[in-house]
Chains A and B, each alone.
Chain A
Amino acid sequence: MIFREAPSLVSAASPEERSGTGSPPPPPADEVRLHLLVRRIQEGDLTAFDQLYELTRVDAARTLRHLVGNRVDVEDLLQETYLRLLTAVKNYRGESRFRTFFYRVCANVALSHLRWKRRRPEDPFAEPPDQVSSEEDPERAAERRQAARLVETALEKLKPKKRIVFVYYELCGMGPDEIAEAVGSSPNTVRSRLHHARLEFNVAMQRLLAHRRPGGPHGAP
C-alpha cells in the first residue's frame, strides 16, 4: 500500500489538541481581549499596543525562532514584526482570529528574512547562542536545548514556504485552514506543502540522528 499523497489530513485535529506546552492558543476570552486591544491600537492608543506586546511577545519570539532558526537575531525580527503589525493592524477588521492575523505578520517577516538569508548565507561558523531557561531542571533543559538545536538544524533544510507551514502546523498547533489564511494560500496548498515538508524533515532528521550515532551513518563500528 502506497500513500502517494498524504491522506486527507483531518483538519478537525484541533490545534488545542496538538499544541503542547509550547504555544497554547489563547482562549476565547483572550481573543475578545485581543480584539479590544486591536480596536484601541487602531485609534492610536499606545498603551493598548504595550499590552498587546506583553501578551504576545513570548509566542512571537518562539514562533520567529522556529521560523528562522537560531543563528538569527530574533530581537531584530521581533521589532520588525511588531512594527509591521502596527502598520497592518489598521486593515484588520476582526474577521479572522487575531492569532491568525498575528501569525500572518510573523510569516511575512520570516519569509522576507529567509529569502534575504538565501541570498546572503549566514556565517557558518557563527555559534548559535545558547538558550538558557533558568527555573528548569538542568538536565531536562539540556535535553530540550539539544532537541531544539536538532530540530532547527533539520528545519534549515526546508525551503521557506514549506518551513513556515511545517512550523505552524507541527510547532504552533495551527490547522491547515488557519495556516492557509495566515500564509495566504489555499488549504490544499498548505496540505501539500506540509506533506513535502514532513518528508524532507524526516530525511534531514534521520541523517542528523545517524550522524550523531557513534559510528556515523553506517552504524556502530
Chain B
Amino acid sequence: MAHLEAGGLWALAADELPGRVREEMEAHLARCSACSTALEQVKAQRALLQDARAATPEVHWDDVGARIRSAAAAHLERRAPRTRWTWGVALAGAVAAVLVLWWVRLQPVGSAGSPVIGAETVVVTGSVPPPDDAVEAIRAEDAAGALVTARTGEEQPLRTGMKLRSGVAVKTPSRASAMLRLPDASHVRVSADSEVELSRAEARDVHLTVRQGRLSVQASHAERKAFLVEAAGLRVSVVGTVFTVERTAHGASVAVSEGRVRVEVAGHPARLVGAGERMELHEETGALQVEQTALSEPDREAIAAMEALASTSVQTQHEEGPEGSSVAGAPAPEGTPAPWVGTTEPPVDARPQVRGTAEVAPPASVAPLHPSGLQKMEARPLAAQKPVARSNAEKASPPGSPVGTDLAHSGNVQHTPQVVAMATQPVPSSTAQAQPPVTPVPTGGTATTDPRPDLSQEFEPYPATSVTEHLPPTPPSEQVAEQPQPKKKRGPLIPMALMSKDADERFLGYVRLQLGPRTCEGFLTGLEEIAVKSPRADHREQARYLKARCFEERLQGTDAKLEYRQYLNDFPRGRYVREATSALLP
C-alpha cells in the first residue's frame, strides 16, 4: 500500500479530516512506520509554526506610529469635504479674477451698468515715493505666533526680521498676527485666524492672495506694475492707501481709511469709495450698499492697529536711515480697540464682521477710473466728515514738519494717531472727499498718483521729503523672482548611442568613440558582422564606413580602399560618400 501523502498528514495533524477518512489513515499509520515518522515530522513542523506564530517582530512603535499618524492626518485632510469646497471656491475665485482682469483690460472705463464679475477694485491716488532701501524680500516686522508655509508644505514659525520669498504663505492662528513689509515698502497686516499667500512680492509687482481671514493693507505710493490682493473672487488694486477688505458672511466689504478707492461690482457702475467710507456687497441679492459714514468697529480696529504698528516700524526705519520713513503701514491686533486713526470718520457703526479678504489689484489694470462713478461718489454729501477732517487738520503738525517727529509723537500719545496717519499718508482722503472736482483721475493705463497739493488744505499734505522720490527705474524683480534661471542646456555627457537599447547601435557608438590604431582590431569582426547581417541599412552603412576607417587607422591602405569601394558600391548615396571618394583618390 502506498504511503500517505504529506498533505493528508497535515490535514490529519490539523484535525481537519472527517471521521471515516481519519480512521482509515490511522489504521494505515498503525501498520506503516514510515508514515508514522512522516506524521511525527509534520507534527514537529506544526509545533515550529506554533512557536513562530508567537514571535512578534521588533518594531519601533513610536517612530512608526508618528509616521503613520502624520500620513493619516495628511490623508484625511486631503479627503475632507471641506477641502473640496475650498477648492471649488478657489477655482471660482480664480475664474472670477481672470474675468475681471479681462474685463478691466477690455474696457478702460467701466461704463455704468456694464457687468463686472463680482469684484471690487480699489484705486487710490497719492504719491509717496518708495524708500530707496526697499528690500527685495518681504520682511516680517512683527510676527507673533504666525507660521510660514513654504510651497513644499513645510511650516515654520515666523520670526521678526525674517526674510520671506515670494510663494510662501503666512498663516496666523487665533490671537496671533503678522506684520509684513513688502519690497515696495508697503505694509500689510495679517489678522488673527488668517492665511495669506504671498504669491508675488516684488518691488514693482505685488500679488497677495488671502485664503482666509483678513488682510489690512497700507500700500506705498511707489510706482509699480501692479499691486493686487486677491481673495475668493475679489480683486482689489491699489496705489497707496490704507484700507481693509474683508469677506463678510453675506458678501464682501471694503472699508477705506485713507485715500480713495474705486470699486467695481458686477451689474453696477464703478464707484469710488472715499476715506471713512465703507462699501458692502450682498452676494445673494447682488445689492450694493454704500455706507458713507460708517466704518465698522473691526475695520477701524484693524486699520488703527496697523497704523499704530506702522508708526513704530517707521520709527525704527527712521533710525536706520532717512528713507525708511516714507511709508508707514502697520497693523495692530484686532482684538484691542485702538484709537481711530483714519482721517475723516468718527467711529460710528460697530457692525459685526466676519472674516474678510482683501484684494489689491494692479494699478495698471484698474487705472482707468470711471468718471461718472467718480462723480457720483464725490457728489455724495459728506458733511458729517468735514468737521472731523478739519479737526484732524488742526491737530496735524505744521506743514513741512519732519515725519520722524510726528511718528515719534504718535508712538507716545495715543490720542493723536490721526496726525501720524495724515503725515505719513500723503493723500488726505478727507480733502479728496470734500472737494470732488479736484480728485485726480489717472488717464491711460497707469494709475499714478496725483502729487498736486490741494490748496484748500490747511496743512501740508506731503510733509515727508521722501514723498517726491521714486523708485529706481530698474525693477529689481529678477532678484526676487520665484523661479530660478533656467539652466543652460548641455549635451549629454554620454553619446546617446551608448544608451540605446539596440546592441548594434551601442557597439557602433563605442567604435566611433574609440576608433584608434590599437583598439580597431577588436572591432573589425563585429563591424563586418553588422555590415553584412544587420537588418538596418544605416547600421550596415556605418559599420562598413567604420571598418574602412579602422583599416585606415591601422595604416592598411589597400584594405581600407577595398572597404571604401565596397561602401560606395553598397551605398552610392550614403552619408559618407564624400569621405569615401576622397579616401579613394590617389
A contact set with B: CB distance below 8 Å? 1-10, 13, 18, 20-23, 44, 46, 49-50, 53, 57-58, 61-62, 64-66, 70, 74-75, 78-79, 82-83, 86-87, 90, 129-133, 143-145, 147-148, 150-152, 170-171, 195, 198-199, 201-203, 205-206, 209
Contacts and interface: CB of A to CB of B under 8 A. Distances in A.
B54 interface: yes
B10 A49 contact: no
A20 B57 contact: no
16 contacts: A5-B7, A6-B8, A20-B54, A61-B56, A61-B57, A64-B57, A75-B60, A79-B71, A132-B58, A147-B51, A170-B46, A198-B7, A198-B10, A201-B45, A202-B42, A205-B48
Interface residues of B, number: 50
Q: Is the contact region of chain A dominated by helix, strand, or loop, or is it mixed?
A: helix
Contacts of A6: 7-8, 10-11
Interface stretch (B12-20, B306-314, B395-403, B470-478): B12-20
B52 A74 contact: no
A84 to B, nearest CB: 10
Given A7-B8, A79-B67, 14 more contacts: A1-B4, A5-B7, A6-B7, A6-B10, A8-B18, A9-B16, A20-B50, A53-B68, A62-B55, A131-B56, A131-B58, A150-B52, A151-B48, A199-B5
A62 B63 CA distance: 17
Nearest to A60: B59
Nearest to A201: B45
A217 B51 CA distance: 24
Q: Is the contact region of chain B dominated by helix, strand, or loop, or is it mixed?
A: helix
Contacts of A198: 6-7, 10
Given A9-B16, A151-B52, A195-B7, A49 B59 contact: no
Nearest to A204: B45
Contact of B5 (A3, A20, A152): A3
A153 to B, nearest CB: 11
B57 A65 contact: yes
Nearest to A75: B64
Nearest to A140: B51
B502 interface: no
A1 B1 CA distance: 6
A57 B73 CA distance: 17
A20 B14 CA distance: 13
A87 B75 contact: yes
Contacts of B80: 44
Interface of B: 1-2, 4-8, 10-11, 14-18, 21, 24-25, 28, 41-42, 44-46, 48-61, 63-65, 67-69, 71-73, 75-76, 79-80
A143 B51 contact: yes
A145 B79 CA distance: 42
A152 to B, nearest CB: 7
Contacts of B52: 66, 144, 147-148, 150-152, 171
A74 B71 contact: no
Nearest to A90: B79
Given A129-B58, A133-B56, A1 B65 contact: no
Given A3-B4, A10-B16, A49 B72 contact: yes
A44 to B, nearest CB: 5
Contact of A44 (B4, B53, B59, B76): B76
A58 B57 CA distance: 9
Q: In the complex, which of the residues B10, B21, B41, B76 has the most CB atoms of chain A within 10 Å of its own CB atom?
A: B10
A82 B72 contact: yes
Q: Top 8 nearest A-B pairs by Cβ distance?
A: A22-B53, A147-B51, A3-B8, A148-B55, A151-B52, A148-B52, A65-B57, A6-B7
